């Protein structure tokens, strides 16, 4: 679901960028570790501040990133010109990637905008390589309920922190750390288990 005018302004301003740089990226990095040298995917890239952080702080070598809103993808392309990022316009519920493609997938606050967010989480699990990492920051149902006079979000079947954690686990990923703030926002780091080889016990 695209952002309304107010949220569009909220997401495209220096305060949002500062929160992402100073608080969210360091927190997710501390929780999930770096993805140095990997190939990553960002869901709902917005204007590309997250893409910069994924390259510069998480250390990935190359990034694929998409957003439902062509205006956002245009802004992100401008911001990241010359960097190893491929952008496209798409929805998070059907990822145009083969199974086991990415070392890391990033979600900076998009899946609460997606009606079928469980399917999107399952898609994340599908496209991650064994051992790959999922980093997520999500906005929770109580925040959506209290701000519905101001912001447009799907209203049914939203999630709290525990429900989102359970959906990650149900998709086959292992949550390694999760935290929440006032039941409004939550952060997750998860890994896709490595399958046991013949005679091996596998990792995690
Ligand atoms: C709250 S904004 C976050 C933007 C950016 N990740 C950030 O942290 O600043 C949510 C973004 O998700 C995008 N979006 C909403 N529904 C989507 C969907 N189904 N698939 C892909 N992107 C979507 C919106 O266009 C918007 O850019």
**Is the shortest distance between the CB of 118 and ligand 1 below 6 Å?**
no
Query: How far apart are alpha carbons 111 and 137 in whole angstroms?
Result: 9
Is residue 178 within 8 A of residue 135, CB to CB? The reply is no
Distance from the first to the final alpha carbon of the chain: 35
Where does the pLDDT of residue 199 fall: very low under 50, low under 70, confident under 90, or very high at 90 and above? low
Where does the pLDDT of residue 102 fall: very low under 50, low under 70, confident under 90, or very high at 90 and above? very high
Where does the pLDDT of residue 204 fall: very low under 50, low under 70, confident under 90, or very high at 90 and above? very low
Domains in the chain, CATH or no CATH each: 5-191 (3.40.50.150)
Q: Which helix (H) or strand (E) holds 150?
A: none
Query: Which one is predicted more confidently, 11 or 191?
Result: 191
Where does the pLDDT of residue 198 fall: very low under 50, low under 70, confident under 90, or very high at 90 and above? low
pLDDT higher than threshold 90 for residue 150: no
Nearest-10 crossing angle of helices 70-79, 49-56: 40
Tell whether pTM > 0.85: yes
Q: What is the 3-state secondary structure (H, E, C) of 161-183?
A: HHHHHHHHHHCCCEEEEEEEECC
For tokens 């205006």, what's the residue? 71
Ligand 1: which atom is nearest the Cα of residue 115?
19
**Is the shortest distance between the CB of 114 and ligand 1 below 6 Å?**
yes
Residues 6 or more apart whose Cβ sits within 8 Å of residue 32: 133, 134, 135, 176, 177, 189, 190
Query: How far apart are alpha carbons 35 and 40 in whole angstroms?
Result: 8
Query: Which one is predicted more confidently, 16 or 152?
Result: 16
Query: How far apart are alpha carbons 2 and 104 in whole angstroms?
Result: 25
What would the pLDDT profile of 58-95 be if each residue is shown by its tens digit?
Answer: 999 999 999 999 999 999 999 999 999 999 999 888 89
Supply the residue whose CA is at minimum distance from atom 24 of ligand 1.
2
Mean pLDDT for the stretch of residues 12-37: 95
Query: How far apart are alpha carbons 137 and 180 in whole angstroms?
Result: 9
For tokens 């990415």, what's the residue? 102
At residue 50's C-alpha, the angle toward residues 46 and 56, to 5°, is 150
Average pLDDT, the chain: 92
> What local confidence, expressed as pLDDT, does residue 203 receive?
45
**Is the shortest distance between the CB of 1 and ligand 1 below 6 Å?**
yes
**Is the shortest distance between the CB of 110 and ligand 1 below 6 Å?**
yes
Is residue 41 within 8 A of residue 105, CB to CB? The reply is yes
Q: Which of 45, 100, 54 is nearest to 77 (CA)?
A: 45
Mean pLDDT for the stretch of residues 135-158: 88
């Amino acid at each position: 679901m695209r952002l309304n005018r107010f949220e569009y302004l909220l997401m495209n301003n220096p305060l949002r960028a500062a929160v992402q740089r100073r608080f969210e990226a360091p927190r997710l990095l501390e929780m999930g570790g770096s993805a140095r040298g990997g190939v990553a995917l960002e869901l709902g890239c917005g204007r590309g501040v997250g893409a910069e952080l994924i390259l510069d702080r998480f250390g990935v070598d190359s990034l694929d990133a998409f957003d439902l809103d062509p205006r956002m993808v245009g802004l992100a392309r401008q911001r990241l010109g010359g960097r190893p990022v491929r952008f496209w316009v798409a929805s998070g519920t059907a990822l145009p990637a083969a199974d086991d493609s990415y070392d890391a997938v990033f979600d900076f606050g998009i899946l609460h905008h997606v009606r079928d967010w469980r399917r999107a989480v399952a898609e994340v699990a599908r496209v991650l390589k064994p051992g790959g990492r999922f980093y997520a920051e999500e906005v929770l149902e109580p925040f959506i309920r209290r701000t519905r006079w101001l912001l447009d979000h799907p209203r049914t079947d939203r999630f709290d922190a525990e429900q989102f954690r359970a959906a990650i686990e149900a998709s086959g990923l292992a949550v390694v750390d999760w935290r929440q703030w006032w039941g409004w926002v939550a952060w997750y780091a998860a890994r896709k288990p490595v399958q046991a080889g013949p005679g091996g016990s596998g990792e995690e």
